[in-house]
Amino acid sequence: MDDADSLDLASLREEYDVGAIDPDTMNPDPVAQWRQWFTHASESGVYEPNAMVVATVDEGGWPQARNVLVKGVDERGFAFYTNLESAKAGELESAQRASLLFSWLSVHRQVRVVGTVTRVAASEADEYFASRPRASQLGAWASPQSDLIADRSVLERAVTDVVARFGEGEIPRPPFWGGYRVSPVLFEFWQGRPSRLHDRLRYRWADASWHIERLAP
């Protein structure tokens, strides 16, 4: 018996039947449409609706994907924060392209975004860092994100050092911590439908406007 049999993966399936995409009522501005779906996901109780997978490509050409939390969305794109010396940061800086994926599974939706990558301005990163809980600020200083560490005590010692360094005072943003913004050139809104005949609507930026196209599921 292989793993798939013992986990009974082959028989796990859901019927997607809670919604549909009517192209006539979709907002011609995909960011506005994303906001509407995000609000719906949030109000429907989707867990961490601001979680998104960020997909990059590493220097060996291997795709790499991980979740982050989107912290700002506007006409410039989707902003998130991270360690600027992490693996993802190197990949974002060298390719200057990324894909994002929002998986709002309990409402049978996903949204895919593809875009170009820029760094969030230092002033904006400062403002967001200042709004974070103190423990998260200390954690940002303490973790050499993506580096090899021997064990957890490395982190615990680093936190102790950072606490001693800053005392009760304000904790500034680490110079190695900041944000990236993905400015979309493509969106795909996906709504699960019965019989696997799902709705997919793509927004493609070309010739200075968004072009809306339906894709086969």
Ligand X SMILES: Cc1cc2nc3c(=O)[nH]c(=O)nc-3n(C[C@H](O)[C@H](O)[C@H](O)COP(=O)(O)O)c2cc1C
> Which residues contact ligand X by CB under 6 A?
48, 51, 64, 66-69, 80-83, 86-88, 145-146
The amino acid occupying position 91 is E
Residue 205: closest CA among 186, 189, 182, 188: 186
Query: Which C-beta is closer to ligand X: that of 88 or that of 112?
Result: 88
Q: What share of the chain is helix, strand, coil (3-state, %, to 5)?
A: 35, 35, 30
What residues have CB less than 8 Å from 87, skipping those under 6 apart? Answer: 58, 64, 145, 146
Q: How far is the CB of 89 from ligand X (least distance, A)?
A: 7
The amino acid occupying position 197 is L
Query: Which C-beta is closer to ligand X: that of 42 or that of 67?
Result: 67
Query: Which C-beta is closer to ligand X: that of 82 or that of 137?
Result: 82
Give CA 108 to chain center in angstroms. 18
From the list 196, 200, 202, 214, the catalytic residue is 196
Residue 56: closest CA among 104, 96, 103, 110: 96
How many Cβ atoms are within 10 Å of 206's Cβ, its own excluded? 9
Q: How far is the CB of 85 from ligand X (least distance, A)?
A: 9
Active site residue 196: yes
Query: Which C-beta is closer to ligand X: that of 79 or that of 171?
Result: 79
Report the catalytic residues. 196
